[in-house]
């Protein structure tokens, strides 16, 4: 390297070092800014994974779900409409004005006086401008309704009911979101348990393959026994892969539900078991009708429909309002002008070719539809409560049956393994016993989670599903 090149590098090195010193803190800051921040009720595992229970998943959904946020915006929108309805009975004032340039102007000249002099002491007469080259106007208008045949009051009532409907809609979205998040969490838990069952079957069949190979080497069994066991092992591994994919898909759906990136590592663990609501079916249904926001939402729809009927009947009523105005106009060349007025304005439609009658008929049909919707909503809720109550009873019975089935399947496999080792039976009996045990254990897992889901769904049907807010220790 020659001296010129060396000097050039010596000049560049400090600049590069300075740039690196400047860039490192910026890059570090970007990493810090990009690091996800989770609520303090979320437990972080040793590998940085999120450890979630069904209740935690539900809390995350309530905090982060976009659909619920949109429902909250709907409440604010309804509150804005209420504010507009309330302002309809107050004073309204407006001001208007204009500055106008005009032309050409016209004028005339007064004849000179007897002394022959004009206004300026000259010989001509005085010039009077008839039109102006500009015009300035300003008007203040004030109005206040004093009687509208009940229209303003009905509008305010409908707006208040609209706010309540928006709040109930948010409650309905919240209930559906709680249920969906709990179902998503239990889906992951169920599949994780089924993954364990499938993995145990792979382990058992692998052991049978090993034993078959040993017995083949000893000349006890034919080579077909080994081939058959290896084929079953391949099938069991495929089943395991299928379940493992299902676990990943369920976790991906869970991330989507709580609005987390798909790259987020999550693990779901069991939390406190859900508590079954107490009471007979009529009591549960009555509680559901009292708690469910959908019932109250249907009732608000009926109330709005009835107010629409009153509004249609008031369509031909009187409108009376206080009104007043003050106007001022300035004209160049002449004195400014002003005017004012105050009074009472009234209006009453006399004939509308049947428009009012049609509006009333439409509103009455809306009332009938709202009544049917309320009845349908109550019937649907009652059906859901009854179905989930029956599902709980079914799951309880299935758990007892499935538990006994696991005991019987384990004993059958133990006996099949003993007979196979003694050369009394073929390996297919062991493989069948392994398959039967996996099926029995899967049935027990499904029955256990069917029970928890049925309880959660019954709570949701009754409108009492909620989450337990429990903080975790800082990580």
CA count, 13 A, side-chain hemisphere, 132: 14
pLDDT at 331: 61
Alpha carbons 1 and 30: distance in angstroms, whole number? 39
* Letter string b/e over residues 232-241, b meaning 16 or more CB atoms within 10 A of that residue's CB: bbeebbebbe
- How far is Cα of residue 394 from the mean position of the Cα atoms in its chain? 33
- Residues 360/313, Cβ–Cβ less than 8 Å: yes
Residues (pLDDT < 50) of the chain are 1-34, 119, 333-334, 471-475
Alpha carbons 34 and 48: distance in angstroms, whole number? 15
Alpha carbons 420 and 426: distance in angstroms, whole number? 6
pLDDT at 32: 38
All residues at 6 or more sequence positions from 452 whose CB lies less than 8 Å from its CB, including other chains = 186, 273, 274
- Residues 325/341, Cβ–Cβ less than 8 Å: yes
Give domain 50-97+134-462's CATH number out of 3.90.79.10, 3.90.1300.10, 3.20.20.120, 1.20.1600.10: 1.20.1600.10
pLDDT at 130: 65
Alpha carbons 125 and 143: distance in angstroms, whole number? 50
Which residue matches tokens 């304005």?
Answer: 345
pLDDT at 302: 95
Alpha carbons 302 and 295: distance in angstroms, whole number? 11
Peptide bond into 104 cis (omega under 30): yes
Strand order in the sheet with 134-147: 92-101, 134-147, 319-331, 337-347
pLDDT at 2: 44
pLDDT at 127: 67
pLDDT at 27: 40
- Residues 91/142, Cβ–Cβ less than 8 Å: yes
- Residues 119/146, Cβ–Cβ less than 8 Å: no
pLDDT at 451: 96
* Letter string b/e over residues 124-144, b meaning 16 or more CB atoms within 10 A of that residue's CB: eeeeeeeebeeeeeeeeeeee
- Residues 395/290, Cβ–Cβ less than 8 Å: no
Give the phi and the psi of residue 272 in degrees, each rounded to 5. Answer: -60, 135
- How far is Cα of residue 182 from the mean position of the Cα atoms in its chain? 15
pLDDT at 351: 87
pLDDT digits (tens, 9 = 90+) for 283-322: 999 999 999 999 999 999 999 999 999 999 888 888 999 9
Give the phi and the psi of residue 135 in degrees, each rounded to 5. Answer: -140, 130
Model confidence, pTM: 0.76
């Amino acid at each position: 390297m020659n001296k010129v090149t060396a000097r050039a590098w010596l000049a560049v090195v400090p600049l590069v070092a300075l740039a690196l010193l400047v860039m490192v803190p910026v890059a570090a800051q970007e990493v810090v800014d990009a690091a996800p921040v989770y609520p303090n009720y979320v437990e972080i595992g040793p590998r940085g994974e999120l450890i979630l229970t069904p209740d935690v998943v539900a809390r995350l959904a309530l905090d982060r779900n976009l659909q619920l946020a949109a429902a909250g915006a709907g409440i604010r929108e309804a509150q804005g409409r209420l504010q507009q309805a309330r302002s309809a009975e107050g004073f309204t004032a407006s001001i208007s004005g204009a500055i106008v340039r005009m032309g050409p102007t016209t004028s005339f000249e007064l004849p000179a006086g007897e002394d022959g002099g004009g206004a300026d002491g000259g010989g001509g007469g005085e010039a009077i401008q008839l039109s102006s080259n500009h015009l300035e106007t300003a008007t203040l208008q004030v109005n206040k309704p004093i009687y509208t045949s009940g229209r303003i009051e009905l509008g305010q009532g409908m707006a208040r009911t609209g706010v309540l409907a928006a709040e109930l809609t948010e409650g309905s979205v919240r209930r559906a979101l709680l249920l969906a998040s709990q179902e998503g969490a239990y889906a992951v838990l169920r599949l994780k348990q089924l993954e364990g069952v499938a993995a145990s079957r792979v382990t058992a069949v692998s052991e049978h393959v090993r034993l078959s190979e040993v017995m083949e080497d000893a000349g006890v069994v034919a080579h077909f026994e080994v081939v058959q066991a290896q084929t079953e092992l391949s099938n069991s591994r495929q089943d395991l892969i299928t379940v493992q994919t299902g676990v990943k898909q369920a976790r991906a759906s869970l991330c989507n539900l709580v609005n987390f990136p798909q790259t987020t590592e999550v693990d779901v663990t069991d939390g406190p078991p859900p508590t079954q609501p107490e009471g007979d079916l009529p009591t549960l249904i009555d509680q559901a009708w009292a708690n469910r926001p959908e019932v109250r939402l249907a009732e608000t729809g009926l109330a709005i429909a009835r107010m629409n009927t009153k509004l249609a009947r008031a369509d031909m009523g009187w409108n009376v309002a206080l009104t007043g105005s003050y106007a001022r106009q300035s004209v160049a060349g002449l004195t400014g002008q002003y005017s004012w007025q105050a009074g009472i304005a009234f209006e009453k439609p006399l004939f509308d070719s049947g428009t009012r009658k049609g509006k009333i008929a439409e509103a009455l049909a809306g009332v009938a539809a709202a009544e049917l919707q309320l009845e349908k909503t109550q019937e649907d809720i009652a059906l859901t409560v009854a179905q989930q109550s029956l599902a709980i009873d079914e799951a309880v019975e299935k758990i007892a049956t499935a538990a006994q089935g696991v005991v019987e399947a384990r004993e059958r496999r133990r006996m099949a393994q003993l007979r196979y080792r003694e050369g009394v039976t073929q390996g297919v009996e062991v493989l069948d016993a392994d398959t039967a045990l996996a099926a029995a254990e899967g049935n027990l897992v499904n029955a256990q989670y069917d029970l928890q889901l049925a309880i959660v769904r019954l709570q949701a049907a009754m409108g009492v599903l909620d989450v337990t807010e429990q903080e975790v220790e800082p990580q």
